[in-house]
Structures are given as C-alpha cells and as structure tokens.
Structure 1
Amino acid sequence: MKKSLQFVSIFGAGLLCGTALAIILPEGVELLEESWRASSCSVAPVGANKNASDGGVGGQLQEAGPPARFFIGVSLVLGFTLMFLVDQICSYYSILDPRTGMSNRTSITATLGLVFHAAADGVALGTAVASSQVTVQLVVFLAVILHKAPAAFGLVTFLMRAGLEKKQIQKQLLAFSAAAPVLSISTYFILNASGGSSQHRLSATGVGMLFSAGTFLYVATVHVLPEVSSRGQQQSSPHLHLHGTGTGQQGGLGVLESLTLILGAGLPVLLTLGLHDD
C-alpha cells in the first residue's frame, strides 16, 4: 500500500510539472493573445475613421493599454507569490510554537496551508472548465486528483499522530476536501459573469489560467521537485512532509520511479498532440 501510494505521488508530481509547463501556461498565453488581437481589431476601424492620415493600427495599439505580455507576467508572478506567502505564514507560525511536541495550533496551521493549496488547485480547475478546451480540462483534473490523493492520506496520518479526536480530524479533512470543489465552481461562475463581450471572457479566463500556472509552478519547483529528488524522513508537519520541503537524506530515484516521473511529465505533452479543440 505504501509503495503504491509512493508511485501515485511520483506520477502525480510529474503530471503536475508537465501540466503547468505544457498545458496551463501555453493555454493562458494563447487566450490572452487572442483577446488582445480581438480588442485590437475592434479598436482599429474606429481609429481609422478618426485618424485616417495617421496610418492606422500602430497608433491604436499604443492606446489600447499595456501589452498582453505585461498581464502574462503579472498573473504568473501573483500566483507564484501567493503560494510563497502562504508557505511562509504557515512556516512562521509553526516555528513560533513554543511546545516541543505537535500541538493543536501546529496541526491547524498545517491544515490551513493545505487548504490554501487545494483552493489554488480549485482555481486552476475552474479556469480550465471555463476555457472550454477538453485537453486542458482533462489534464488539469488528473493533475489535481493525483496530487491531492496522497496529500489527503498524509494529512489524516499526521492529525492522528498529533492526537486529535476523530471529529476534529473529520472536520479538518472536510475543509481540505471541500476547498478545491468550492473554489472551482466559484471560479467558473465568476469567469462566466465577468463581462458580456467574448474578448473580456477570454482575457479573464487567460489571466485565471496564468495565475493558476504560477501556483502550479511554485508547487512544482519548491515542493514537488525536492520531494521526488530526495528520500525524506517523516517530518513533523504535513505541510512540509507532503510537499517534500524537509531535510531528509539525499538519494536518487530508482529506475522505475524515474520512468514513472518522466511518464507523468510527458503525458500532458502527448495529450496536447493527440487532442485538438478548434
């Protein structure tokens, strides 16, 4: 059971990295650029009537606001920074705990950190559904499921080890489990109600996907890669243990584990080649 869960975790780690790099990031960029082109085309005829001697579209694009790459960068950085702040706040409160053992405050802090991670995954899932791209929806859904299954198992194990009562464990697990579905549904309806024009919906969905890509990239680079490149010992907090930020013994992955990681990372790329939604 433990070995099977380890392979699921490794496959989910690869899938998370591949999804962020090959699915969410390109799709968000494409949606923003498509929205930008649509807005430029709609502005150009009006400007052409007013400034016929100005030579056209070049002047209009300057009036249209910041370029699309500005919003691409801002969305990615905001997603990355949010997850960084969540991690730092959780680590700060865990370190300041004066007790030597695991306390209720430590367990609640760790659960809150995991809830924020699950909420970010919910935003990614909601924006994927709003994009109406089957490839994006499928891969993001698989990445979220495979990434969160080991996290839920580890959270319950940690809370039991911390000595919490069964009802408290159930409440914290319920909060963790409900975060992604609630945020995904909320994100979907917010994006659908974000504006009447199709170009506003495209840009809102693109920003949401790039924000999600920033959160995925943070989890992939700060949590997932250390987890799969080291065989850590059991940590005192699930927020650290589940995402591999501990200081366990270093050791390479086995051949089968490495192939599992590569398969998980390559699957999103294969899906983008095999499935097209035009």
Structure 2
Amino acid sequence: MLVLLFVMSILLGATSFACGILPLSVAFSKTCLERLSAVGTGLLLGAALGVIIPEGMETAVEASPGLIPTSTIALSLIFGFTFMLVIEQIVSPHAHSHNDHTLGLHTVKKDSTQKSAEVDFDAELGELEQEEGLDRPGYRQPAPSSIPLNDPHASEFTGRAFSLTFGLVIHGLADGLALGASSLAKDQSGVSSNLSVIVFLALIIHKAPTSLALTTSLLAISLPRQKCKEHLIAFASSTPISAVASYLLFSSFGNGDNHWTGIALLVSGGTFLYVATVLQPVSNHRGASSIGDMRPITRVFHIVVGMIIPLILSVVLGHGH
C-alpha cells in the first residue's frame, strides 16, 4: 500500500504544480474556474461526510469490540476541525472579522489594458489576500511588468507572497493527512481498501483551482516568475510529503491496530469539513454582482454534483457503506 500511496502522492504533487504553472502562459475563463472550484467544494464535503467519516467510525468501532467509542469519535472530529480553525486564525487572525465577506482573487489577463478580474477560487486564499491588503476597495493591483526590480516595497510584496503560500501549505499538509490515513484503512477481510483512491481523486480536483489561484495571486503582487515557481513547488509538495509522513507515523503507532487508523481518519474528516464549509463556504451570499459570477442555483448544482461523485466512486470501487 505504501507503493500505491507514493505513486498517488507523486501524481498529486505533479498535477498541482502543472495546474499552477498554467497561469504563467495561459488566460483562463472566470466562469470555468468558478465551476471547478464549486465542484471541488462538493468533493470535499462528499468525501468527508460520505466516505472518510463513515470509514473512520467503522474502523473505530471494530477496534473496540462490544462498545461504540462515541467520545473518541466526537473528540477526533472536533480536534480536526479545531486544528484547522486555530491554524487559519494564526495565519490570518482577522480574516473573519469583516462584515463584508466578498472575498476576491485577482487573475492576470494578458491584454493591452492589463485589467484585473475578481474570482472566488478558494475562500481561504481570498481571506489571506484581504488580511495582507491585497483586496482593498478601489485598489487595483499593478501589472507584474509595471513595478521595477528595485522597488522599495519589494520586501513587502515578498512578505505578502509568503503569507499566501504559507496558509495554503498548511492546508496542503492537512490534505496529506487525509490521504495518508485513508491508505491505512482496511476492509473486513483485512485487505487494503480503495478509500485512498477516492480521497486521491477528490484532492486532485480540489487542488486544481487552488493551484491556479495561488499563482495568479502571486503574479498580482508582482512576484518574479521564478519566485512564483518556488512558492508553487512548496505548495505542491506539501500534500505528498504529509501523506507519506502521516502513513509512516500512524503505521508505527498502530502496529496493526485499527484504533489509531480510525482516529486519523476522523481527524482528517474534521479538517475536510472545515476547509469545505468555512474556508470555501457552501452558501455564497455575494449574489451575481458581476458578469461571470455563478447564479446560486448553478453553484448549488455543481456542489451537489461534487458531493455525489465520492459516493458513486465508493460504490463502483466496492467500498460502499
């Protein structure tokens, strides 16, 4: 199973990097990326509620014959959710203190006017941008080519880029925990289950718009392209490293016992719920304020489609509950 996890981790990191590189040379449709982001939100919800958490509960019960470890289940879920809450508040302590929750992200267009558009690719990234002063009303980000290399504010731009990347790296580590923990899951016959494949597919689709969002944000603050690639590598490698590390860690702790596997799955389920419901709000109350914004019914449709996909995969792969 470690070999399969290693292969999935490599593919996940390579896909994240490849998607993040695209904005350096290609302009993307705002509507297409919004829809992909909505499907990604649904995938996280579906994977957490329909696959990871049920599997974690089943594993925890099997590890405690004769009783249902409700306290362990509850504490594990709460810990995963709270961990992400604490980390996100440390990275961006005022992210949720605004009355206006319109969270924007700038995309760089390769036209003569160098205009910027605002897109909600990933709420966590939009919040970090607001915290770092990248989304102030009436403020337009300068084009990457408009700031000279000897700009006195270069260090400020570097600091903003670090904050953006650091926040996403933390969430990437949490995603790796989910993939690593799911790779430990076994079916009733003791054979490794296909849960990790479902989580892997959900993460692939979830990370595509996030990688695009990171690169476009770094370009918007005039970070050199080489530096953009370095930040992207850090983000793309966070989940693979965390996945392999968490697998080895829980394998050594568990020593064949399902107790730690169940806890790991439930903790990762809690982190997924936080990312899907808080960092990428299911309810988007912005309204269609500009051309290209999705209508609420369209957003709900794409989220529901994303939620159903993990359930379909669990049935197809023979891992239904």
Which residue of 1 is the match for residue 54 of structure 2?
26
Q: 1:228: Cα distance to partner?
A: 5.3
Name the TM-score, length of structure 1 as normaliser: 0.74
Report the AA paired with residue 177 of structure 2. V
**1:113 aligns to 2:167 (yes or no):** yes
Partner secondary structure for residue 281 of structure 2: helix
State which of 191, 194, 202 in structure 2 corresponds to 1:143.
Answer: 202
Report the AA paired with residue 7 of structure 1. R
Partner secondary structure for residue 147 of structure 1: helix
1:126–1:187: 8 Å Cα contact kept in structure 2? Answer: yes
Q: Residues 205-239 of structure 1: CA distance to partner in whole angstroms, max 9, x if unpaired?
A: 111110000000111111223475646889xxxxx
Q: Residues 111-132 of structure 1: CA distance to partner in whole angstroms, max 9, x if unpaired?
A: 1110011110000001111114
Identity %: 31
Partner secondary structure for residue 131 of structure 1: coil
Which residue of 1 is the match for residue 305 of structure 2?
263
Partner secondary structure for residue 36 of structure 1: coil
Partner secondary structure for residue 31 of structure 1: helix
Partner secondary structure for residue 223 of structure 2: coil
CA 204–105 in structure 1, closer or farther in 2 if over 3 Å, else same: same
1:230–1:251: 8 Å Cα contact kept in structure 2? Answer: no
Which residue of 2 is the match for residue 209 of structure 1?
265
Q: Which moved more, 1:18-27 or 1:96-105?
A: 96-105
Q: Residues 63-83 of structure 1: CA distance to partner in whole angstroms, max 9, x if unpaired?
A: xxxx61111111111111111
Gap regions ≥5 residues in structure 1: 41-60, 62-66, 235-249
CA 224–135 in structure 1, closer or farther in 2 if over 3 Å, else same: farther
Aligned length, in residue pairs: 233
Partner secondary structure for residue 225 of structure 1: coil
Which residue of 2 is the match for residue 74 of structure 1?
75
Q: Residues 172-195 of structure 1: CA distance to partner in whole angstroms, max 9, x if unpaired?
A: 111100000000011111222224
Choose 1 or 2 for highest CA Rg: 1
CA RMSD of aligned residues (A): 3.0
Q: How does 1:149-168 map to 2 (within 5 A)?
A: 149-168=208-227
Structure with a larger share of its residues in helix:
1
State which of 212, 216, 223 in structure 1 corresponds to 2:279.
Answer: 223
Q: Whole-Å Cα distance in 2 between the matches of residues 74 and 185 of structure 1?
A: 24
CA 145–75 in structure 1, closer or farther in 2 if over 3 Å, else same: same
2:198–2:314: 8 Å Cα contact kept in structure 1? Answer: no
